[in-house]
Structure 1
Amino acid sequence: MTATLPRAGAVPVASVKRRGRAPGLLAVLPLLVFTAIAFGLPALAMLNGAFTVKDQATGAASYTAQNMTASLQGPYLIALLGSVKLSAVSAGIATVLGLLLAQAVVTSRFRALREAVLTASGVLANFGGVPLAFAFVATLGNSGVLTQHLGLKDKGWDLYGFSGLTLVYLYFLIPLMVLTITPALEGLRVQWREAAQNNGASQAQYWRHVALPVLTPSLLGGFVLLFGSAFAAYATAAAMVGSSVPLVTLQIADALSGNVLVGQENVALALSLDMVLVAGLVMAVYLPLQRRSARWLA
């Protein structure tokens, strides 16, 4: 057995790979620095404050789990559960309605209609905050145009409750679901539908046994995305319902501003940490679903 000697001037493969990695690391370094400053430092400050209690008399700070315990009790726990309930209900309704609307757009023969709906969805999915609250108050509030014209107040309609806030959230969640699920619907193979029809399957059987099982990861991923978007929303609820609907984002704002109790800023940080943990669980579910969906529809 003869050993093969390297040729003169030949560069080892490992050395070439290391040289190729260096420019890539340098190129991504600004992004890593920006991420560390913009997200890492606030996260560390929030984590530190969530476990810090300051003595109002002496100003001495000590580490304890008192803030985290308080954030999971009383009105704070009610607000956290209220946000979870509102997000789950609005995300579930938006998932179903968004799927139906996206399917109608994908199967439409009019390309202009499809482009118009997708463009409008892109705009409406980012329309929120105080302008959205004002639009609904002027339309469906106690003195709103439709409320007075249709006599909704006499029928028990209340925009400033849980159901009204859910309706407002649907305004931007349904367009977001349309944008999310449309690529998955377009990924359904025409051959699958034809094969189901050739085997005598009806339209309902095709959706039950073929389309929906394939779309399930995308639907669950879309639901999780909508849940996270509704869970983090603040300005719309603050401008429209105030404290009439208990939400964790409103409790954080009250704690930071001292509207309820003075010196509860660190409790607000603990509530923020609770939200981060919920969002982390949401992303832990969302990312695997997205990878599985991409594998099916590739």
Structure 2
Amino acid sequence: MKTWKNRKILLFTGALLGLSVLFSPLWVNAPAHAQENPPEGAVYRVEAGDTLWSIALRFGVSADALREANQIANPNQLFVGQELRIPGISGVNGYLVSVEIPPGETVRSLARRYAITPQTLARLNRLTSPMQLYAGGNLILPEAQTDSALGRRVVLGAGESPLMAAAALGTSPWVLALQNDVPSPVYLLPMDVLLTPGEARDSSGALPPPLDALTFNASLIQGHTAVFQVSAPPEVHLEGNFLGHPLRFFPLEDGAQVALQGIPALQEPGVYPLRMVATLPDGTRFVFEQNVPIAAGDYLYDPP
């Protein structure tokens, strides 16, 4: 009887410990943020070459509204470093910066990387269509306020629960959700690439490990060859599609895989979707899509 009684005590204690791990996020701290107080409202620092009209165009406001919001007497006299409040942007406090969208990113990965919601990202950039976001384009974002970046990428595998993924990382599912701006662990979906504390690497935030950086030509031009390169081990099978043609990747000696695709000289300049499918070593398939621009090659047109 005494042995059975002790066993019941151990079982009860284990259950309490399990509940404390499961519900621990109710008391854990969120990721640390900088102590500096950001300015009220959205503020932009004037850079070299800026004019009142170019700034107004960038943020989708009128030059008159920008001038009145900042009580500017002479719109031709702006100086580098001058702080301008941007009217018409609600719910955003802090300095705004313009960054170039790198390859291998999506709205979700960019929002997580810069610790803002996708809704705020869309509002800041007046986004009404996914085609407005493309690799190499400019994106307006609040200046990062976090003390330490979430640089380590993990992927929630097929059949892996948020609790299992969090346990492997030594944290709780609620902390994992908070770090990725998700209201509850139930919204963490399979094959979702998450960011956790760790050393930031020069990697593409929307790609799952063991895939790293996606790169391609600095500019894709009519009549030239597009070179798509992904840092991926040979056991990862890559395929894709661009301009209606299949992409066939082959390994390089430096541990990357590359695919070549010719761009027709008569291809209409514009933004086109790049689609890649990665089959990971465990058989899991991961799909990634991003819009990429094609520029004009200035080919002469001989009318019939």
Same fold by TM-score, threshold 0.5 exceeded? no
The structure, 1 or 2, with the larger RCO (C-alpha pairs under 8 Å, 6+ apart) is 1
Query: Greater strand share, 1 or 2?
Result: 2
- Point out the structure with max Rg over C-alpha: 1
Query: Greater helix share, 1 or 2?
Result: 1
Query: Normalising by structure 2, what TM-score?
Result: 0.22
